[in-house]
Amino acid sequence: MNCKDYKEAVAAEPHAVFDGAEHADACPDCASFRDEMQVLNNKIAAAMAIDVPQLVMPELPEIDADSNVVGLPYRSKQRRVAPVWFGLAATVLIAAFFGIRYMAADVEYPSLGAEILAHLDHEPAALQVSDVAVSERRLAKVVRDEVAALDSEIGLITYARTCVINGKKVPHLVMQGEAGPVTLLLMPDEKILSAVSLEGEGVNGYILPVGDGSIAIIGERGERMQEIEQRVVNSVKWST
């Protein structure tokens, strides 16, 4: 089962057990997608499981035979219906987010740079200031031997995850710079002829050609990128 088929199955039934469900054990991106869908599914279920007030039918009106005037019984305003509408509104918003998040996996971007910047927006949790390095086991699982080798001089890596960029699984790393976290995307199969500048909201960086592949390096505005770029390029060796 590939990533697309797995995500379609999980989006349809987040908690279901199906053939190919073990795919997520070897794919961190799909495992993260599954966990997010299950959380959203639980929120939708909670929003729908609201205490709906009992429906009370109005009393039949009394008709004055002499005047043909209908006397309606007095009813105070029903204030208990508000939670119902709040619950329904919450359900609609959650379901809408669920659909948008799922469809985003198939969005087509005008360029590789645009997709990279959009990817950073989708993973804000990665950009945390930290002095705790990821475990060697985690780093080895993301930057596999058949992809690349990392020199220890690259610096403190505080985040490591396998992500999909331009339809390919690539290592997504975060190291700590002087102005804040710096994102690295190692793309051994994305060959470019020259460096591409990246400009996002509050961030900037480059996609640099490295051998037959490329590396995206994005940091906070004000980050001194040249030293980081050189260190990263010198520390990454493609395996093929």
Q: Of 106, 124, 142, which residue sits at a domain end?
A: 106
Q: What is the longest distance spanned by two Cα atoms in the chain?
A: 100
The stretch 109-138 carries a mean pLDDT of 86
For position 83, what pLDDT does the model report?
54
> How far apart (Å, rounded) are the C-alpha atoms in residues 197 and 142?
26
For position 102, what pLDDT does the model report?
47
Question: Same domain, yes or no, for 85 and 130?
Answer: no
Residue 28 to residues 35, 78, 132, 150, 180, Cα–Cα distance (Å): 10, 49, 20, 20, 25
Helical segments of 104-150, H only = 112-122, 136-142
Judged against a pLDDT cut of 50, whether residue 108 lies above it is answered with: yes
Q: Is residue 165 part of a domain?
A: yes
The stretch 137-146 carries a mean pLDDT of 92
* pLDDT mean across residues, the chain: 78
Question: Same domain, yes or no, for 195 and 222?
Answer: yes
The stretch 45-65 carries a mean pLDDT of 58
Contact (Cβ atoms closer than 8 angstroms) between residue 228 and residue 219: yes
Q: Is residue 70 part of a domain?
A: no
Residue with tokens 């490329």: 214
The stretch 77-86 carries a mean pLDDT of 50
Question: Same domain, yes or no, for 197 and 159?
Answer: yes
The stretch 212-217 carries a mean pLDDT of 94
Question: Same domain, yes or no, for 118 and 94?
Answer: no
Coil vs helix vs strand at 145: coil
Report the percentage of the chain scoring pLDDT > 70.
73
Question: Same domain, yes or no, for 86 and 7?
Answer: yes
Task: For residue 62, name the pLDDT band (cuts at 50, 70, 90).
Answer: low
For position 106, what pLDDT does the model report?
57
Coil vs helix vs strand at 134: coil
Q: Residues 6 or more apart from 147 whose CB is under 8 A from it?
A: 171, 186, 188, 238, 239
Task: For residue 189, name the pLDDT band (cuts at 50, 70, 90).
Answer: very high
Task: For residue 16, name the pLDDT band (cuts at 50, 70, 90).
Answer: confident
> How far apart (Å, rounded) are the C-alpha atoms in residues 153 and 79?
65
Residue with tokens 């599954």: 34
For position 60, what pLDDT does the model report?
53
209 is in which domain, residue-wise? 112-238
Helical segments of 2-104, H only = 3-12, 28-48, 82-103
Contact (Cβ atoms closer than 8 angstroms) between residue 37 and residue 98: yes
How many domains does one find in the chain? 2
The upper half-sphere exposure of residue 9, i.e. CA atoms within 13 Å in the direction of its Cβ, equals 18
Q: Is residue 63 part of a domain?
A: no
Judged against a pLDDT cut of 90, whether residue 22 lies above it is answered with: no
Question: Same domain, yes or no, for 95 and 149?
Answer: no
